[in-house]
Every structure is written in structure tokens, then in C-alpha cells.
């Protein structure tokens, strides 16, 4: 009954039946759902520095946990072999601490947004295995060590398993084989023994990748290494992932004994052009791929809200194993999906719209749950 009710309410709201309400006037998501899981959001530099005042206001009102969308990534925080750039990451952590929020670190070892020097010697050739181990250890110890006791947990390794379940043939893998993953977890634990440690990936509903990640998690545990949770990025579209497949994967990760986190939730409202979240897979702009430059048609908005309602309700049902739900950005205008997989598009993938207003599905869920 509730779901049917949701659909009716969502449809009405999508038709603009509800008056515009500033997001900071709505009941706080962290108050309504905070007893189920951490209510988290990825924030950009302008929000952390409160340059985007409206975005920062939504973050402070609705969320109890934040993750840095970019400023803690290797290419941003360690741009040259002997130079770190701490200012933006420091500002992010200080924003969170100033506002009593939990801080999540993203991400230590990733093939993308990797500093260009990281894998190469002065001649441009891959460094030796020992050199790469030393560079990984130095990077992880410097970054995790700097925020020791201030960051709740780290995405230690990001996107290392492909859809077949095999290891991604990244530079890390080419030089160190699968050993780069346990080494990364070991170095992170050395640097902050209290920090939670996570593996994070996209397309985790795909059975091949799901089983490969389970195998990798079990291997880390067999080695006696700390891994607290598996991050399902949950970058979605209007026709993927399959709901049951997603739930099967969620259950498979929970069966390893790890917690599960929804780490980068968004849902493109545009026709699916690519299911990849591998940022290298970008296509050139085509007008046909940007069908809703001004606003979503009401039927598309109602369908989007209904799918979001179904997945959020799934997260709530599994809150015994899901301990964080993270939106990958504050408002639709902030989303990476406006530029991926096709640059220059207008997408509508997040919890708040370009007018900083909460999406109908979420208003409906808040109203349903706020008195429970």
C-alpha cells in the first residue's frame, strides 16, 4: 500500500502540485533516517569553503557525514612526487569538524585521477615493484597519517575489479599484480589503526564483479587484514541496475561479514547511453543525447522518482547491514553526470534539484517516516 501511495504522491508532486519549499525548511534527512544509517553526501570544494552558500546550507541541515568528491584524490592532494597540496583537503575536513559531521576519506589507490608521476620513473617507464610499494606506502602514510583520528574511514582501493570478476589491468596491477590491494589495506591500517577501511566499486550488481569482489574481500580477511565495509557506488540509470540483482549483490557482500555502504548514489534521468562509470569512457556531445535541457517531462520525472523511492526503500529495509547512504553530490547542478558519459548535458540525478529543492520521492519518504 505504502509504495502505491508513494507513486500517487510522487506523481502529484512531480506535477508541481506541491508549493516550492526551501530544502532547509524540510525535516532534516539525518534526523529522519539517522537511526537507520549515516546520511552522507559528496561535497565539492566550493561547498567545503562555503562559497556555494546554498549548497553548504543543505549539507549542514540534512547530512551528518561528508565525503570529498575530489580534493583527497591523488592527483589533487599529491600532484608532484615531492609536493603535497593539503589546503583543499584541510578545508574539507575543517568544514566537517566545524559542523559536527563524520568525515569519509576518498580515495587512496585508484587508477583514475592518479598523479601522473606515480607509476613512472624519470624515463617514463613503469617503476619497479619495490619502488611502487614505497610510493604507495609513502602516499598512504602521508595522507591517512595527516588526518589520523579525524577521518572515520577510507576508500582504500577504488574500482580494481572489472565486470568479469578479474582484476582491472591498471598500472598498479601490471606492476604489482593483485598484491597492490592487500598492501594498500596494510599501509592504511599502519597509518591509522582506528580508521575503518573500505573497498569501493561501481556496477557491483553485475554478477561477475560481485563474485570477484567477494573473493577479494575473503582473501583480505584470510590474510588477517582489516576491511570493514564494501562500498557499492550505486551510479544508476532509468533501466539499470536490475533491482533484484542489486539486492542479491548487497546480500552477497553482507555475507562476507562486512558492512555495506551506498557510497556514490545518483540516478541519471536521461536515456542510457553507457552503463560504465569508468570516467575514461566519455563521448562527444550530441544534441540527441541531451533530450531535456530545460526540465524533465512529467512522466520521466514520475518514473525517476518512483525508481529512487524503490531503491531508497530497499536501503531502509537492509539498514541492518547498510551503515551509510551517500548521495554523490548535493544538487543536480553539481553532478558529474552533467558531463559523463556525454559532456555538456543536463541531467537530474540527485536528491535536490537546481532550485535547491528536495525531490518529490524524498519529501514523500520524509513525511512517511518522520513520525515513526
From CA 156, how far away is CA 144, in angstroms rounded? 10
Provide the minimum distance between the beta carbon of 48 and ligand G3I in the complex, in angstroms, as a whole number: 12
Shorter beta-carbon distance to ligand G3I: residue 227 or 232:
232
Shorter beta-carbon distance to ligand G3I: residue 113 or 355:
113
User: Which residues are identified as catalytic?
Assistant: 159, 264
Provide the minimum distance between the beta carbon of 76 and ligand G3I in the complex, in angstroms, as a whole number: 7
Q: Nearest to ligand G3I by Cβ — which residue?
A: 336
From CA 144, how far away is CA 154, in angstroms rounded? 8
Shorter beta-carbon distance to ligand G3I: residue 42 or 296:
42
* Residue 323 phi, psi dihedral angles, 5° rounding: -110, 5
Shorter beta-carbon distance to ligand G3I: residue 68 or 300:
68
Residue 193 pairs with which residues in a beta bridge? Answer: none
Q: Which of 65, 4, 7 is nearest to 325 (CA)?
A: 65
DSSP 8-state secondary structure symbol assigned to residue 128: P
Q: Which residues bind ligand G3I (CB under 6 A)?
A: 69-70, 112-113, 158, 202, 233, 264, 277, 279, 336
Return the axis-axis angle of helices 207-222 and 243-254, rounded to nearest 10°.
10
Provide the minimum distance between the beta carbon of 58 and ligand G3I in the complex, in angstroms, as a whole number: 17
Shorter beta-carbon distance to ligand G3I: residue 180 or 336:
336
Provide the minimum distance between the beta carbon of 129 and ligand G3I in the complex, in angstroms, as a whole number: 26
Q: Which residue has the cell 553485475?
A: 206
Provide the minimum distance between the beta carbon of 371 and ligand G3I in the complex, in angstroms, as a whole number: 35
**Cβ contacts of 229 within 8 Å, gap of 6 or more:** 153, 196, 198, 258, 259, 260, 261, 323, 324
CA R_g for the chain? 20
Amino acid at each position: 500500500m505504502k509504495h502505491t501511495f508513494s507513486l500517487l504522491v510522487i506523481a502529484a508532486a512531480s506535477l508541481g502540485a506541491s508549493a516550492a519549499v526551501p530544502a532547509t525548511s524540510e525535516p532534516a534527512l539525518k534526523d529522519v533516517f539517522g537511526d537507520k544509517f549515516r546520511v552522507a553526501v559528496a561535497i565539492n570544494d566550493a561547498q567545503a569553503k562555503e562559497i556555494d552558500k546554498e549548497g553548504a546550507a543543505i549539507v549542514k541541515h540534512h547530512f551528518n557525514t561528508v565525503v570529498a568528491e575530489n580534493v583527497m584524490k591523488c592527483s589533487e592532494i599529491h600532484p608532484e612526487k615531492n609536493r603535497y597540496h593539503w589546503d583543499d583537503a584541510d578545508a574539507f575536513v575543517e568544514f566537517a569538524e566545524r559542523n559536527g559531521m563524520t568525515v569519509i576519506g576518498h580515495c587512496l589507490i585508484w587508477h583514475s585521477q592518479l598523479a601522473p608521476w606515480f607509476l613512472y620513473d624519470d624515463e617514463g617507464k613503469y617503476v619497479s615493484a619495490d619502488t611502487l610499494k614505497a610510493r604507495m606506502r609513502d602516499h598512504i602514510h602521508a595522507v591517512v597519517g595527516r588526518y589520523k583520528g579525524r577521518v572515520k574511514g577510507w576508500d582504500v582501493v577504488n574500482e580494481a575489479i572489472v565486470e568479469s570478476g578479474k582484476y582491472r589491468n591498471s598500472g598498479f596491477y601490471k606492476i604489482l599484480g593483485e598484491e597492490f590491494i592487500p598492501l594498500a589495506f596494510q599501509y592504511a591500517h599502519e597509518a591509522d589503526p582506528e580508521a575503518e577501511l573500505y573497498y569501493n566499486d561501481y556496477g557491483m550488481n553485475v554478477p561477475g564483479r560481485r563474485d570477484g569482489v567477494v573473493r577479494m574481500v575473503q582473501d583480505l580477511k584470510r590474510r588477517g587484514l582489516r576491511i570493514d565495509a564494501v562500498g557499492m557506488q550505486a551510479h544508476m540509470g532509468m533501466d539499470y541496475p536490475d533491482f533484484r540483482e542489486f539486492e542479491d549483490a548487497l546480500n552477497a557482500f553482507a555475507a562476507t561479514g562486512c558492512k555495506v555502504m551506498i557510497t556514490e548514489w545518483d540516478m541519471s534521468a536521461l536515456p542510457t547511453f553507457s552503463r560504465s562509470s569508468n570516467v575514461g569512457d566519455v563521448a562527444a556531445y550530441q544534441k540527441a543525447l541531451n533530450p531535456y535541457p530545460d526540465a524533465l517531462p512529467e512522466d520521466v520525472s514520475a518514473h525517476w522518482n518512483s525508481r529512487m523511492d524503490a531503491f531508497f526503500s530497499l536501503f531502509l529495509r537492509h539498514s541492518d547491514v547498510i551503515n551509510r547512504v551517500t548521495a554523490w553530490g548535493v544538487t543536480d547542478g553539481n553532478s558529474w553526470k552533467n558531463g559523463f558519459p556525454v559532456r555538456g548535458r543536463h541531467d537530474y540525478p540527485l536528491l535536490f534539484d537546481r532550485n535547491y529543492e528536495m525531490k518529490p520521492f524524498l519529501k514523500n519518504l520524509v513525511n512517511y517516516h518522520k513520525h515513526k
